[in-house]
Structure 1
Amino acid sequence: MTKPFRQPTPKSTPPTATILRRGSHGEVVRISSILRKETVGGAILLAATVAALIMANSGLSDAYYALRDYKIGYEPWHLELSLGAWAADGLLAIFFFLAGLELKREFVAGDLRSVSRAIVPVAAAVGGVIVPALIYVLINLESGADTLRGWAIPTATDIAFAVAVLAVIGSKLPPALRIFLLTLAVVDDLLAITIIAFFYTDDIAVLPLVLALVLIALFWMLTHKFSYFFGTRAWAAWLILLPLGFIVWALVHGSGVHATVAGVLLGFAVPVLRSKRGGGPDAGPGLAETLEHRIRPLSSGIAIPVFAFFSAGVTIGGADGLYRALTDPVAVGIVVALVVGKPIGVLLATFIVTKTTKAALDPDLAWIDVIGVAVLAGVGFTVSLLISELAFGQGSPHDDHAKVAILVGSLLAALLATVILRLRNRHYGRIAEKEAIDSDNDGIPDVYQPEQASKG
């Protein structure tokens, strides 16, 4: 008897991962709160930068440079520093402490604790570091070893400026794009500080560095056993943890490693998850969240603007001076790397991830959205200014030209991103009302609750 013919069972298609998909409602709310604070910080940062440029190019230039170079501190501990150096080495350590907290929180308790979700912004950050550095090196290859020292200048994205621009021009853009930009900026700032530690450190004193690592371990123990050591006496914790953190900073500074590295290491030492002591989800926020909430205004409102005020002031010298600055191969390399290299690196890395992991862009997004954010990642400022001073020396001709290029490149990147993202913002504004529907009035839009969205 002949067996009936049966159609062959088609092979199952492996599931396709979705990149840049919508985050959880809690994560979107948290990121939105951060964006609002960074927007204010970006405005203050812009005001400080403009003030520095006005003072450096007016009759107040002598007073500005005298203030920047005024020294205070205690020399036997290698802490007699100019106000500009205190801002670069000390205040920026606060910024990087916050970056360490934010990055650890994202990977331990945020939406990026999933490898499939973390790989995209991390890969994009790596691409956004490698490609600009290569472009800078290619442009300056024949200019000598002195100019090549600036290869890392265009690798970092300025969190405050980039996020402030995005908040102003992209109020209706999907939260996934904002989370993508914020995570990318934090990761590539961490990569930049790693570059500083390994490539811009000349002589290392071993003993202070070892002592710093021992005290970081003590800091880790005290923060992880916070309730055991301090109970409800938060004031006691501040009296111990703050001086301990300052001593770690001073030891790292004395070791020859750039002191901002201490900020990142201390940030990584703080626990993200709630303590089991006292029990469960009602125990309150973890220590990292508490510190982030208290320190972010200090970082955005004081630390970064003061650093920018002392670092961004450069005497341009009119149109001729601007021409000389922008025709320096150092400046050309920085501008091209920020405006062209950064978006190419971010896009190329994101594209490679989609092809090698069989992932697909979220259907609610388009590649033009990713292009806009990638262009915006070319806004490099805070860490770029820091690396410029480390590479060329504060006040040197190359340093001055590099600072002009950082300002020009960042401005061009911001303007190009504004053109792209404003068009996309109008598109997403037309669907914003639908996404805001909350049919069961529980405070969470239906778009984050599939069962409610399906009913609608």
Structure 2
Amino acid sequence: MYRVWNFITSYSLLLLAGAAVALVWANIDPHSYHAMVDYPLIQNFFIGAEHAADGHISRTLTAHFLVNDILMAFFFAMAGKEVWEAVILKNGELRGHKAMTPLIATAGGMLGPVAVYLGLAAVLGVYETVSRGWAIPTATDIAFSYLVGRIVFGAGHPAIRFLLLLAIADDAAGLIILAIFYPTGELAPVWLLLSLGAALLVYLLANDLPRRLDRHNQMRPNSSWMRQKLSFWPYLVAGCLSWYGFMRAGIHPALGLLPIVATIPHADRPYGIFAEAESYLKDLLNWMQHRLKYPVEIVLFLFGLFNAGVEFSAIGAPTWLVAAGLLIGKPLGIFIMGWVGARALGFGLPEGMRMADLVVLGCVAAIGFTVALFVASVAFPGGAVQDAAKMGALFSFGAAFVSVIVGKLMRVERREF
């Protein structure tokens, strides 16, 4: 897998450490924890969370907004980079026949949780209260799922690559869901023209124009000058403008860097999600990703710290709905739609992978931690319902133990090479 293990391990441990500190802090001294999360850094600022007072709308840059809406944009940019390369490059993982069954299974892994979540909500009589959280259990946490997948299947099992394909596609769908169904304020689509304009301008001036000027010149002097002298700065400026456009448009600004990712010069081939081998590639996109590696790890620690602080007394109906959507709906959806893709439609499974392995893989993919927490924080306003939903996202860690047990029952053969 091109030595992806070290990155995923450090990423996962820091995120888990932040979440653990948050849980302990929130249950020992909830007042000081929430005071830290909501601490106002700058009041009456041009960016921040909107609030109305005396008929006037102003913004306050809080610590929570800084982490969730600004710093997490770099995490989603890294995830977006992997999705973009998997789709756009000729040998990308989400192109061609090899991606069909994972893509179909991904659809099941999103529809199954939604059906279970909304169905149980209707049965329990809480549909009106919790229906906005339908997307929370659709998430698959790439890092933790990969860790558990390595434990259950081993590094060399074909189910690992299937899992990564499914997780990448799941992330892509999750980004679309966030953008469409969870606006952060009153929609003002005209502001998206700022994001679109920034993306087009930086692509034309910093990417397309130098390449056109270097046509028929193997030395590529103009492209080299742009890379050496200006480096990432044009894209950073464009990213700030795009982020601001998303915020003012009412779309979650954490997605604001995604239009810029597609404009950055990229490699001719991908080596796999977060692969260490890509650190040796000379394209600007991979160079930027690997410079962001350690800062994003710190961001994810802060994300866990600022979002996982839920009191155990918050457990309620949304907790069990999210947990059921992930632990029941996702494995069922992945298996049923995976069977449709592999058998009914004839796309098949990777060589060496059984249908029984697909059952186990569905359990592994039920870990929704990072993105599930993020969606919970935007699906519901702060309060009891949001906290209960977040607890359900944390409970999805139970899928790790379920995966190990089901793996033993299904007689999964671990393969290290």
TM-score for the superposition, normalised by structure 2: 0.83
Matched with 2:46 is 77
Per-residue Cα deviation, 1:401-452 (whole angstroms, up to 9, x for no partner): 11111111x12211111223468898334xx5xx6xxxxxxxxxxxxxxxxx
1:383 aligns with 2:371: yes
Q: Report the Cα offset of residue 111 of structure 1.
A: 4.6
1:3-25, CA deviations, whole angstroms, 9 ceiling, x for partnerless residues? xxxxxxxxxxxxxxxxxxxxxxx
- Once structures 1 and 2 are overlaid, which stretch shifts more, 266-275 or 117-126? 266-275
* Alpha-carbon distance, 1:112 to partner: 2.2
The match for 1:112 among 77, 93, 100 is: 93
Decide whether aligned partners of structure 1 residues 269 and 34 sit closer, same or farther in structure 2, where only a CA change above 3 A counts.
Answer: farther
2:293 alignment partner in structure 1: 296
1:182 to 164, 171, 182: 164
Quick one: distance in 2 between partners of 1:224 and 1:127?
A: 39
Residue matched to 2:54 = none
| 1:266 counterpart (253, 260, 265) | 260
**1:403 corresponds to 2:403:** no
Instruction: Check the 8 A contact 1:103/1:183 in 2, yes or no.
Output: no
Preserved CA contact (<8 Å) 1:159 1:182 = yes
Provide the alpha-carbon RMSD of the alignment: 2.6
Q: Residue in 1 aligned with 2:403?
A: 417
Q: Identity of paired residues, percent?
A: 25
Which deviates further from its counterpart, 33-42 or 43-52?
33-42
Q: CA deviation at 1:170?
A: 4.0
Which protein shows a greater Rg?
1
Describe the SS at the equivalent of 2:257.
helix
Call closer, same or farther: CA 1:94–1:284 in 2, change over 3 Å.
closer
Change in Cα spacing, 1:423 to 1:136, as seen in structure 2 (3 Å) is closer
Matches within 5 A, 1:341-352: 341-352=329-340
8 Å CA contact 1:93, 1:261 repeated in 2: yes
From 14, 28, 31, the counterpart of 1:58:
28
Q: Which runs of 5+ in 1 are unaligned?
A: 1-27, 276-282, 436-456
**Superposed CA offset, 1:187-206 (max 9, x none):** 21221221121111252223
CA distance in 2: counterparts of 1:263 and 1:425, whole angstroms: 43
Asked whether the equivalents of residues 379 and 411 of structure 1 are also in contact (C-alpha less than 8 Å), the reply is yes
Say if 1:206 and 1:357 are closer, same or farther in 2 by CA, change over 3 A.
closer
For residue 51 of structure 2, what is the aligned residue in structure 1? none
Separation (CA, whole Å) in 1 of partners of 2:282 and 2:409: 39
How many Å separate the matches in 2 of 1:235 and 1:416? 52
Contact 2:267–2:281 (Cα < 8 Å) also in 1: no
| Contact 2:195/2:245 (8 A) holds in 1 | yes
Mark the CA change 1:305 to 1:167 in structure 2 (over 3 Å): closer, same or farther: farther
| Deviation at residue 211 of structure 1 after TM alignment | 1.1
Q: Give the structure 2 partner of residue 130 of structure 1.
A: 111
Inter-partner Cα distance in structure 2 for 1:56 and 1:303: 20
Q: CA deviation at 1:109?
A: 4.3
Amino acid at match of 2:37: R
For residue 387 of structure 2, what is the amino acid of its counterpart?
Answer: D
Between 127-136 and 220-229, report the one with greater CA deviation. 220-229
- The answer to whether structure 1 residue 95 and structure 2 residue 98 are counterparts is no
| Residue number among 128, 136, 142 corresponding to 1:159 in the alignment | 142
Shift of 1:235: 5.5
Cα distance per residue 1:108-151 (max 9 Å; x no partner): 14452642012122222221111101111111123242311111
* Matches for 1:235-274 after TM superposition, within 5 Å: 236-274=230-268
Q: Using a 3 Å threshold, how does the CA distance of structure 1 residues 262 and 422 change in structure 2: closer, same or farther?
A: farther
Helix, strand or coil for the counterpart of 1:360? coil
- SS of residue paired to 2:251: coil
- Contact 2:163/2:361 (CA < 8 Å) preserved in 1? yes
- Letter of the structure 2 residue corresponding to residue 44 of structure 1: L
Aligned residue number for residue 453 of structure 1: none
Per-residue CA deviation, residues 75-112 of structure 1 (Å, 9 max, x unaligned), is: 45233321112211112211111111101212214452
> Is the 2:310–2:387 contact (alpha carbons within 8 Å) kept by the matching residues of 1?
yes
Hey, what's the Cα distance between the residues in 2 that align with 1:94 and 1:417? 31
- In the TM superposition, residue 38 of structure 1 has moved relative to its aligned partner by 1.1
User: TM-score, normalization: structure 1?
Assistant: 0.77
Q: Which amino acid letter does the alignment assign opposite residue 386 of structure 1?
A: F
